[in-house]
Every structure is written in structure tokens, then in C-alpha cells.
Amino acid sequence: MSDKYQQRRFDIYGYEKIDTEVLEAIPYEYPEKNTVVEYITDEFSSVCPWTGLPDTAKLIIRYIPHQKLVELKSLKYYLTSYRNVGILQEHAVNRILDDLVKLLEPKFMEVIGEFHERGGISTKVVARYEK
């Protein structure tokens, strides 16, 4: 990368700013059922680790809970912690899946990131976990 672009770089944070400590689980009262829970937001954002330019996405988190649900306020704070983190789109989706699987131990989980077009290309990333 030439020096002229280094001067235009925005501040970005490392993975240590992803706030997994804020995530909370609450008890699920119907573990015998295969209920599909889906959370959708159009407000997910992170930044390109090389340029600092924003990556925005529609994020869909779909899962079949076992014993726990994610508390929604904690999920919102967790997702917001990505705002200035330099992370590739593919890595962000997989990291979210890993963190939520660790917290919830679901029967099934899928995280879909539909990243908005930048430079003429949009990206869709699908990461799955099945017990």
C-alpha cells in the first residue's frame, strides 16, 4: 500500500475490543421443542482491517435453542462492539457464530451476513453450527 493511502487511514481497533463479556444468556423453558429463533438487524458494522473503511451488513442470527436464549440487550451491545473493529467480513460472521455457540450451546445455529455493496461487490457469508 502506498504512503498516500496510509495518511487516509481511519483508526481501527483489534479483536480485543469485541465485547464478549457483555453477552448474557437466559433460561429457555422449552428445550424439548425445535423452535427456530431468529434475530435480524440492518445495523451491523465493522471496518476493513486494511483501509479502515466501513463494512455494513444485514445480519441474521437463526438458532434452535437447547437450554438458553441470548438476552437481547446484551446481544445489541455485543454487536455494537464491532463498530470500529478491523475484521474481514468472513471472519466477523464466524466470530459471532463462535461466541454465541460458546454462550448458548444451541442445537443448531446459523449466522448470515449480507454485506452491502462496496466497490461494486456485495458479500454474503453463511456460517453454521450443528450439535
Nearest-angstrom CA–CA distance, 79 and 20: 9
Q: Which of 11, 19, 48, 99 is catalytic?
A: 48
- Confirm if 55 and 125 have CB atoms less than 8 A apart: no
Distance CA 122, CA 57 (A): 9
Angle at 79 between CA 78 and CA 82, to 5 degrees: 100
89 known member of a binding site: yes
The reply to whether 70 sits in an annotated binding site is yes
Query: Is 104 assigned to a binding site?
Result: no
- 37-47 and 25-27 strand pairing: unpaired
Confirm whether 55 is a catalytic residue: yes
Sequence-ordered list of residues with C-beta below 8 angstroms from that of 27, at least 6 positions apart, any chain:
67, 68, 69
Catalytic one of 3, 19, 42, 55: 55
Helical H segments across 81-119, by residue range? 89-104
Is 111 marked as a binding-site residue? Answer: no
Task: Supply the residues annotated as catalytic.
Answer: 48, 55
Annotated binding site: which residue ranges?
Answer: 70-72, 89-90
